[in-house]
Structure 1
Amino acid sequence: MKHLEKGVGLRSAPRDFLRDLNVDNLSAGVVAGIFGLSAGIIHISAGTAAGLDSHFIMIWVISYLMINGLFGLVMPAYYRLPMPMANSIPGALLFAAIIPVVGLEAALGATLIAGAISLVAGLAGVMGIVMKLIPMPIVMGMVAGVLLKFGLNMVAPLENAMLPAAIMILAFFFSARLLRRVPPLIVAMLAGIAYMAYSGVDFSAVTFSVTFPEFIVPEFTLNAFLAYGLPLALILVGMETPAGVGLIKGMGYKDVPANAITAVGGVGTMLSAFFNLHSTCIAAPMTGICSSPEAGERDKRWVAAVVTGAIFVIAAPFYGFVVSLIEAMPGYFIAIIAGLALLRVITSAMHMAFSGKHEMGGLFAFLIAASGLQILGIGASFWALVLGVLISMLFETKDFEFLLTRRERPGKPAS
């Protein structure tokens, strides 16, 4: 436990939450929450493509919101940092693909082991070594590559839905320039909602339902662990934590609890294995939204993450209703809001990736993450870090201080 970073604590969190709550961090938290709710559609699509039962898919998404929402309430409140919790999207794709091969119980058993590995990694304090092996410019290159699609998805509607897209984007920038006290994200959302009301979007198909997570007992097989559990552990430790930590540091925060994020994610992943869920970890895109300047003063942005967690917990049992509501909305609405919320984060990530050391490694990390390629069934984000580091070690060896000999280090006299 000595390697786990200490936080502010939870005793005064409710009082501090009310003190720090304002329209900026509230709006950022709402946007991040809406984004997280919409991410459940990725699970539904992946599960449907893999031929999984529709009832299981719904339970999977509801558990994702409920469990990660609870951890998303505690982590930012304890550390007073914008650290919303969710699950790994690459892990979700692996999970959906492996269930037809090894069975649900075996896949969840592999999830349990992956969570234990993540917990041990956090308790052992190895994240400092991991973060040293994966320099920040390469992490931010990967982050920029991952987030690039949100920027592209924001401008893509200008082709087929030019009027509403232009209205929302221009509303964001004009309000940022002219309405100093009103968060531009809120203005953009209201502009989009007003257009939908004017154009007569049909919400008649929206249906109401209530569902709760279901308990299940995992099973353990070597095949499931090698095919899915080990890659998931590598993703949680080597990709999800560095991405989240990199985003927070990129927004000006110095002390980010990498070991605690990894350990708590491990505990959450182990718990998830008993409720049809594949992982718990820091949520990179939502972290970008909650930690961005749009969330207001830096020391109050943690409130946005707590708001996101609360939205998850409240919405979880009603996710069937949420899905039908999201499906009734035009696709451009969430795409534009998410892209606008992440603009400053994408800018910061690119600046950190390409303005100093490890430029070639950062570039390859950016390109690989943006490409969306998969190798051995593992997604692009993981390989962006691995190959970005290898490229940088080969061609930018001097940028790795721990690789230099004593004779080569600046300021050290030759022996």
Structure 2
Amino acid sequence: MKHIEKGVSLRHAPRDFVRDLNVDNASTGLVAGILGLSVGVVHISAGTSAGLDSSFIMIWVISYLMINGLFGLFVPAYYRLPLPMANSIPGALMFAAVIPVVGLEAALGASLIAGAISLVAGLTGVMGMVMRLIPMPIVMGMVGGMLLSFGLKMVSPLEGAIVPAAIMILAFFISARLFRKIPPLVVSMAAGLAYLMVTGVDLSGVEATIRFPEFIMPEFTLSAFLTYGLPLAIILVGMETPAGVGLVKGMGYKDVPANGITAVGGVGTMVSAFFNLHSTCIAAPMTGICSSPEAGTHDKRWVAAVIAGAIFVVGAPFYGYVVSLLEATPGYFISIIAGLALMRVITSAMSIAFAGKKHEMGALFAFLIAASGIQILGIGATFWALVLGVVVSMIFETKDFDFLLETSKKRDAPESTG
């Protein structure tokens, strides 16, 4: 346990939550929570495409929200940092695709082993070493590429839904300029909702259902582990944690518990495997929102992450209703709000990646690969963005790696004869 970073404590977390709660972190927490709820639609789409039973798909999404919401309450409260928890989207896509091949119980068994690997990586300090070896410009190049799609989805509605998109975007910038005490995200959301109410939103198809996570016993097969478990472990350790940690550091936080985040994600993934869920990890896009300047001062942004976790827990049993409500809301609404919330995160990532003199080529490759969304060997683009970004930088920018220069100097130094 010596490698797990110590946090503040949970003893006074409720009192401190009330003390630090304000309009800024409450509004960004709401946006992050809504974004996380909308991600459940990705699970539904992936499960439906893979031919999975609709009842299982709903339990899968409910478990995603309930389990990760509970971890999302305690992790940011313990560390007093904006560290919302969710699950791996690339992992979700692999999980849905592999179930028809190896079976549900075997896929969950593979998730359990992947969680154990992630836990060991955190306990042994491997994650902290990984973060020290990957240069920050390359990490932030990956982050910028990963978040680029959110920015593009924010402006793309200007083509097909120019009136509501323009209203929401202009409301954000005008309020940021004129109304200093009102978070611009709140104004943008209010403007968008007002437009929807005026133009009329069909809510007749909205239905309320209540369900809870269900217990299941995983099974272990070598085939399932090699096909799904090992790639999932690589994603959790090599992609999800670096992306989340990079985002938080990019927002000015110096001490981010990389080992703790990885270990907690491992425990969460192991618990998830018994409840039809594939993983638990830090939620990179939600982290970007909760850690952004829109969430207020640095020492109070953790509240936004706790609020997002609470929204998950409350919304989980009623997710059938939430899905119906999201389906009744035009897709551009969430896309614009998420893009506006992440704008300053994207600019910060790009600045750190390319404003300096070091690792520029590696950062560029990391950005391009992450933005492309490619998959190699079934593993997502953000992982390969880090790997190939480091490789490119090691080949063309060797002098920028301080630890390589130190190793070279030690090797070339004359041995003492005394």
> Does TM, scored on the shorter chain, surpass 0.5?
yes
TM-score by length of 2: 0.97
- Residue 6, structure 1, aligned to residue 6, structure 2: yes
Specify every segment of 5 or more residues in structure 2 that has no aligned partner in the other structure, as ranges: none
Give the drift of 1:352: 0.9
Change (3 A) 1:405 1:21: closer
Contact 1:295 1:301 in 2 (8 A): yes
Shift of 1:406: 5.0
For residue 213 of structure 2, what is the aligned residue in structure 1?
213
Partner deviation per Cα, 1:134-188 (whole Å, 9 max, x = no partner): 2111111111111000000000000000000000000000000100000000000
Q: What letter corresponds to residue 155 of structure 2 in structure 1?
A: V
Shift of 1:334: 0.4
Runs of 4 or more, structure 1, over 6 Å off, are: 412-415
Aligned to 2:293: 293
- RMSD, aligned α-carbons: 1.2
Matched, 1:117 2:114: no
Query: Which aligned pairs between 1:113-262 and structure 2 lie closer than 5 A?
Result: 113-262=113-262
What letter is aligned with 1:244? Answer: G
Tell me the secondary structure at the aligned position of residue 404 of structure 1.
Answer: helix
Residue 374 of structure 1 is matched in structure 2 by 375
State the AA in 2 paired with 1:134. I
Q: What is the match of residue 312 of structure 1?
A: 312
Contact 1:407–1:414 (8 Å) recurs in 2: no
TM-score, normalised relative to structure 1:
0.98
Distance (Å, rounded) in 2 between the aligned partners of 1:44 and 1:387: 32
Q: Aligned to 1:327, what secondary structure does the other structure show?
A: helix
Q: Which residue identity is paired with 1:366? A: F
Corresponding residue for residue 362 of structure 1: 363
Report the equivalent of 1:23.
Answer: 23
Q: What's 1:399 paired with?
A: 400
- Which amino acid in the other structure matches residue 73 of structure 1? L
* CA distance in structure 2 between the partners assigned to 1:413 and 1:235 by the alignment: 39
1:375 CA drift (Å): 1.0
Q: Does 1:385 align with 2:377?
A: no
Task: Structure 1: give runs of 5+ residues left out of the alignment.
Answer: none
Distance (Å, rounded) in 2 between the aligned partners of 1:229 and 1:297: 39
Identical residues among aligned pairs (%): 79
- Deviation per CA, 1:235-292, whole angstroms, max 9, x where unpaired? 1011111111110010001111110000000000000000000000000000000000
- The answer to which of 354-363 and 249-258 deviates more is 354-363
Question: What letter matches 1:3 in structure 2?
Answer: H
Separation in structure 1 between the aligned mates of residue 300 and residue 350 of structure 2, nearest angstrom? 25
Per-residue deviation, 1:407 = 5.6
CA shift for structure 1 position 414: 7.3
Query: C-alpha separation between the residues in 1 aligned to 2:408 and 2:133?
Result: 21
Distance 2:57 2:137 in 1: 37
- The one-letter amino acid paired with 2:237 is V
Structure 1 residue 133: deviation in Å?
A: 2.4
**Corresponding pairs, count:** 413
Letter in 2 for 1:324: S
Is contact 1:189-1:337 (8 Å) kept? yes
